[in-house]
Amino acid sequence: MSEQQGFTVWFTGLSGSGKSTIAEMLFHEFQARGMKTEILDGDEVRKNLSKGLGFSKEDRDTNILRIGFVANLLTRNGVATICCPISPYKETRDACRAQIGEFVEIHVDATVAEIAAHRDPKGLYKKALAGEITGFTGVDDPYEEPVHPELKVDTETQTPEESLQSVLDRLKELGRIDDATAMVTGERQHSGQTDLRLTETGAVKREH
């Protein structure tokens, strides 16, 4: 049996852009292919590896570099690793790319206006835009878009399924998977590795 080659799929984008939704879908696609896979979600890593860090640039960078460190360990041990933190700073993302090597950067794009209007269940964007929260990425703290990502998906115009298909197609082009056909349909049980909301049946709730 040939040994699985590890790689990292790194989703970056604003909070609420759809990173975790697509990452969760991709996780189930990898599982359906019999691949070893793990998700490193920004908020989950903060709870478990980065507890006590704040949201200064230094602390944000520290959190992302910790995610990159773990992703590198997983990747070199043959795991298809999925990362979905905001990772707002290009320099830090590039540092993770350099460390990991087998790195596929995917920009999940949606505007602040779209997210604030339709994907803000906690009202955080509303508070940030009103000045009630400061240091909020995309409002009064910068988000540096990737210059040359392996893929950009536009979740304002694409459904989650269409975004996932774009990711699968690109991964096939890059030789990371053999077949880009989506294998999982219907409700997906939660991986337990992202902060996505659940339905009453324990499935992942559609966010957009």
Residue in 15, 17, 50, 87 annotated catalytic: 87
87 is catalytic: yes
What letter represents residue 71's amino acid? A
C-alpha to C-alpha distance for 64 and 177, rounded to whole angstroms: 26
Which neighbouring-strand residues pair with 82? 9, 39
Please, are residues 157 and 2 in contact by the beta-carbon 8 Å criterion?
A: no
> What residues act catalytically?
87
